[in-house]
């Protein structure tokens, strides 16, 4: 038994793993003041932690020590307190502001509003968009801006932007696509006529990946090489230029707007023997 234990120790030696701890953030008075200001602005604990460089649990603990964040307790709210929550909400205060003031959760504020018949505003800060906002949202979306970007600009959800666009009669693009259905059909028609993805992308001011993704969503089969297919006449012309006119493969590629590699494989397919790149001196 002893020999087996010795052999195991020799074969599997113990290795010491050094764990590196993250550097701690020193809570100076300036940091605490900045933390309090960000909390008063409505920033979340995660956002505060990222900016200061600490953990969100540390943020919550420090705010409780500073007396800014009241600890949650199993407090039984009286009718007067609940009525005060409902009155503040009816006056225009948000649920999170009332919850911070009373040291409770947002669901307690909502329950208090329902108890006293206060109608809850729609989510998304309860904002009512004007006709100018609707027009601006439609213009941003039609210019190619993504739904999430528009939603962040107007501080609302993606579904709210979709409802506004539908009310304005704007045709929605597919998820992750910057083109509407009519533009997708136009791209598919150009690709089927023989234009390459690169030429279509340059014409529309986008990149090849976007064009390829749009074609796949439209159900258009992608060509194997991603470029134009050469007809038999074009391939024979390549062979003639290479054999009779003694064009180089790069020169043929420049004539047919393709790469040297494409010319090489076409010549190989036709059984044309490639010329040596250098002539031996003996």
CA dist 59 and 196 (Å) reads: 54
Same domain, 83 and 61: no
Lowest mean pLDDT of 51-60, 116-125, 128-137, name the range: 116-125
Please report the pLDDT score of residue 103 as a whole number. 79
Q: Tokens 């307190």: give the residue.
A: 81
Share of the chain above pLDDT 70, in %: 80
Residue 230 CB coordination number (10 Å): 16
Same domain, 83 and 56: no
The residue among 211 and 21 whose pLDDT is bigger is 211
Q: Determine, yes or no, domain membership for 150.
A: no
In the 8-state DSSP scheme, what is residue 245?
S
Residue 6 forms part of a structural domain:
no
Sort 92 into a burial class: Cβ within 10 Å, 0-12 / 13-18 / 19+. Answer: exposed
pLDDT at 226: 47
Within a domain: residue 201? no
Asked if residue 249 is part of any domain, the answer here is yes
Count of CB atoms situated within 10 Å of the CB of 237: 15
pLDDT in tens, 164-203: 888 888 877 665 556 666 778 888 888 888 788 888 888 8
Q: Kindly state whether residue 5 falls inside one of the protein's structural domains.
A: no
Report if residue 49 sits inside a domain: yes
Q: Is residue 34 part of a domain?
A: yes
Query: How far is 238 from 242, CA to CA, in rounded Å?
Result: 6
- Residue bearing tokens 């809850």: 120
pLDDT 10s digits, 27-37: 788 888 888 88
- Alpha-carbon distance 233 to 241, whole Å? 12
Based on the structure, what is the number of domains in the chain? Answer: 3
- Does residue 77 contact residue 53 with C-beta atoms inside 8 Å? no
Is the model more confident about 144 or about 73?
144
Containing structural domain, residue 111: 79-115
User: Rounded to the nearest 5°, which phi and psi values hold at 77?
Assistant: -80, 130
Q: Is residue 36 part of a domain?
A: yes
Predicted TM-score (pTM) above 0.85: no
């Amino acid at each position: 038994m002893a020999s087996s234990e010795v052999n195991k120790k020799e074969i599997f030696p113990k290795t010491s793993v050094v764990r590196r701890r993250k550097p701690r953030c020193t809570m100076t008075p300036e940091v605490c003041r900045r933390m309090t200001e960000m909390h008063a602005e409505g920033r979340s604990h995660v956002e505060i932690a990222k900016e200061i460089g600490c953990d969100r649990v540390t943020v919550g603990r420090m705010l409780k020590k500073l007396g800014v964040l009241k600890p949650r307790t199993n407090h039984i709210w009286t009718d007067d307190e609940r009525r005060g929550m409902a009155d503040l909400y009816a006056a225009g205060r948000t649920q999170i502001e009332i919850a911070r003031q009373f040291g409770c959760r947002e669901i307690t504020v909502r329950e208090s509003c329902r108890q006293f018949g206060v109608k809850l505003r729609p989510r998304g800060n309860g904002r009512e968009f004007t006709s100018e906002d609707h027009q601006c949202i439609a213009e941003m979306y039609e210019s190619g801006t993504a739904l999430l970007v528009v939603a962040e600009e107007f501080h609302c959800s993606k579904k709210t932007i979709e409802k506004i666009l539908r009310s304005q009669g704007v045709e929605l693009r597919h998820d992750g696509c910057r083109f509407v259905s009519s533009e997708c059909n136009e791209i598919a028609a150009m690709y089927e006529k023989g234009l390459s993805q690169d030429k279509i992308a340059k014409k529309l001011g986008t990149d090849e990946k976007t064009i390829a993704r749009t074609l796949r969503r439209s159900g258009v089969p992608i060509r194997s090489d991603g470029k134009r297919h050469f007809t038999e006449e074009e391939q024979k012309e390549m062979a003639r230029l290479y054999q009779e006119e003694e064009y180089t493969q790069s020169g043929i590629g420049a004539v047919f707007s393709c790469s040297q590699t494409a010319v090489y494989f076409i010549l190989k397919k036709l059984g044309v023997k490639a010329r040596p790149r250098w002539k031996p001196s003996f």
